[in-house]
Amino acid sequence: MTNTRGYVICEYEKVRESFPNFKSVMDTLEANLIANAESSWDPLKYGGITPKAGEFGKTTVMPQLFNGLTAAYQPLVTWYQWLNATGHRTIMTGAAAGGTINEDYKIGLVGLAFLSKAIRISEIKMQIGDKKLPRINIEEAFAYDKPAVVFEDGYILDEETGFDLYANVITQGPQRIKLIGIQLNRVPNKLQVTNTGAPL
């Protein structure tokens, strides 16, 4: 495990063991995200995973809110992608117009997990709105089984705000990159009536 100021690189399945502050970071991020949503979506209140009328809901982060590098940046169905070109690439972006997060959704992002056996990228960099985060070299993560990059402070991906995940792709092929965090949904019925894997 590497603990560098701002983030921790460790095995995904050992995040809590390797980063004991993870629960505190997640709790703070969730509280800030809920406050943000209650302000934006007033008069709706937080309803957790089973919201009722007049409430917004919570889920895991859904891949359908993002476009992947595969097939000319179409919305993802799962976190699986096929990296079809090497070098500096945008490997994930918001699925709405201009690479933004769809209206009615807010995401609390605390990290990324690389779930494939072969890691095909050597560096990552993110941009959230006009905030550019520094490059992170993940080459040492190659030694881990399912490595994760976990931030010491979470980030809010607000609705209608741009999101881009860039990477230096070193080999073409399959890659599963999962965003770690939580998602709030202003219209929970959209998730209750749509089929699994359907666009949001």
> Mind listing the pLDDT tens digit for each residue in 39-50?
999 999 999 999
- Examine residue 139 and state whether it is found in any structural domain, yes or no: yes
The predicted pLDDT at position 15 comes to 78
CA dist 149 and 169 (Å) reads 17
Instruction: List the beta strands (DSSP E) in the chain.
Output: 2-4, 7-11, 45-46, 55-59, 66-68, 80-83, 87-94, 105-114, 121-128, 131-132, 136-137, 147-157, 163-169, 173-185
Contact assessment for residue 96 and residue 74, using Cβ atoms and an 8 Å cutoff: no
Q: What pLDDT, in 10s, does the model give residues 69-125? A: 765 567 898 999 999 889 999 999 999 999 999 999 999 999 999 998 889 999 999
What's the predicted TM-score (pTM) here?
0.89
pLDDT-derived band at 199, boundaries 50, 70, 90: confident
- Examine residue 109 and state whether it is found in any structural domain, yes or no: yes
Q: For residue 2, is pLDDT > 60? A: no
- Examine residue 168 and state whether it is found in any structural domain, yes or no: yes
- Examine residue 198 and state whether it is found in any structural domain, yes or no: no
Residue 91 sits in which domain range?
A: 2-192
- Examine residue 24 and state whether it is found in any structural domain, yes or no: yes
- Examine residue 197 and state whether it is found in any structural domain, yes or no: no
CATH number at residue 101: 2.60.120.1170
The predicted pLDDT at position 106 comes to 98
- Examine residue 107 and state whether it is found in any structural domain, yes or no: yes
Report the domain count for the chain. Answer: 1
- Examine residue 200 and state whether it is found in any structural domain, yes or no: no
